[in-house]
């Protein structure tokens, strides 16, 4: 086993700032893939009882985001400034509340959610109970541009380099060995497929086929689980590519909408078999950083 060599000393650390995003409601009822209507909680919010480390299934809601959903401008989600927040903030970055009753409290970025352009941030219960939708949150954005010098064919996105060591990522036999909770075939990937920017947003594991869910154990997924998507290339956009491997993290919950399911934020991708997934139940961001349900 070899220690990872990276270019972390050359990365730019930059402040980005936003606020908790109000919950959104898209209509009185949303139609599921079976043609049934549902009126349930969905994206956004300061969510008290859903945390990174919890199951991504079985919640009475759709596309639920654990902890705090964060945005810069709720009216201009596709603005260059809001997209810079999405791009620059990386999984594992420190977030600091800079106003209000929770001022000074610290949290951790745990994922991106495309479409609504939310950053998802974990805070402890004491902070959650003090936060309001008027408060401001600053993120020390650090990680975009990260390279793994011994495996240059592996592209890295959205990842704070400080996560690599506790996660247990290493070089083994000339390949990048990455602990993951499971592997998923690219044939199950849906919403977000074809998006040209793997450094923002996410794409979903579709869960409409109950047999596939059971076969691959998808209903065991938790927020924060690291997963390997096989034959999936995210190097310059999200698409099928035979032999490619992409590693991501579960950012939002399952969904009843056609073509949707648990959302995966991209972290590593290679068009060649340069990434070797290593199955481990403990390969979860909350467990690695001792946050969310694993916070002591």
C-beta of residue 107 within 8 angstroms of C-beta of residue 68: yes
pLDDT tens track for 120-167:
999 999 999 999 999 999 999 999 999 999 999 999 999 999 999 999
User: What number of helices (H) and strands (E) belong to the chain?
Assistant: 5, 17
- Token pair listed for 97: 């509340």
C-alpha to C-alpha distances, 208 to 19, 145, 158, 257, 259, nearest whole angstrom:
34, 36, 28, 8, 8
Extended beta strands in 154-199, E state: 155-156, 170-172, 175-180, 182-185
* Other Cβ atoms within 10 Å of 58 Cβ, number: 10
| Mean pLDDT over each residue of the chain, to the nearest integer | 96
pLDDT of residue 26: 87
C-alpha to C-alpha distances, 133 to 22, 42, 70, 110, 147, nearest whole angstrom:
7, 17, 10, 19, 36
pLDDT of residue 27: 84
Domains of the chain, each with CATH number or no CATH:
9-141 (2.40.10.170), 155-294 (2.102.30.10)
Closest CA to 268 of 6, 62, 72, 56: 6
pLDDT tens track for 103-115:
999 999 999 999 9
Extended beta strands in the chain, E state: 14-20, 30-31, 37-38, 68-71, 94-97, 106-113, 118-122, 137-141, 155-156, 170-172, 175-180, 182-185, 203-204, 226-233, 239-252, 263-270, 275-279
pLDDT tens track for 43-94:
999 999 999 999 999 999 999 999 999 999 999 999 999 999 999 999 999 9
Residues 208-236, mean pLDDT to the nearest whole number: 98
pLDDT band at 1 (very low <50, low <70, confident <90, very high): low
pLDDT band at 296 (very low <50, low <70, confident <90, very high): confident
């Amino acid at each position: 086993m070899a220690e990872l060599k990276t270019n972390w000393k050359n990365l730019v650390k930059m402040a980005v700032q936003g606020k908790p995003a109000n919950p959104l409601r898209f209509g009185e009822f949303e139609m599921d893939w079976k043609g049934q209507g549902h009126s349930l909680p969905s994206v956004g919010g300061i969510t008290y009882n859903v945390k990174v480390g919890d199951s991504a299934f079985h919640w009475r809601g759709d596309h639920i985001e654990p902890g705090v959903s964060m945005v810069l401008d709720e009216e201009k989600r596709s603005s260059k400034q809001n997209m810079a927040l999405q791009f620059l903030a990386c999984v594992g970055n420190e977030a600091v509340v800079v106003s209000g009753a929770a001022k000074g409290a610290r949290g951790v970025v745990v994922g991106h959610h495309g479409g609504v352009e939310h950053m998802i941030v974990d805070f402890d219960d004491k902070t959650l109970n003090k936060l309001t939708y008027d408060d401001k949150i600053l993120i020390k954005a650090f990680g975009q541009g990260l390279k793994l010098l011994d495996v240059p064919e592996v592209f890295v996105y959205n990842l704070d380099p400080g996560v690599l060591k506790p996660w247990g990522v290493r070089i083994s036999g000339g390949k990048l060995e990455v602990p993951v909770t499971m592997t998923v075939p690219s044939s199950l990937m849906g919403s977000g497929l074809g998006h040209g920017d793997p450094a923002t947003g996410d794409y979903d594991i579709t869960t409409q086929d109950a047999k596939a869910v059971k076969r691959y154990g998808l209903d065991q997924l938790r927020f924060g689980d690291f997963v390997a998507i096989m034959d999936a290339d995210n190097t310059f956009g999200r698409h099928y590519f035979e032999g490619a491997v992409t590693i991501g993290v579960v950012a939002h919950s399952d969904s009843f909408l056609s073509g949707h399911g648990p959302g995966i934020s991209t972290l590593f991708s290679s068009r060649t078999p340069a990434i070797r997934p290593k199955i481990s139940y403990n390969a979860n961001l909350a467990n690695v950083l001792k946050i969310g349900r694993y916070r002591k």
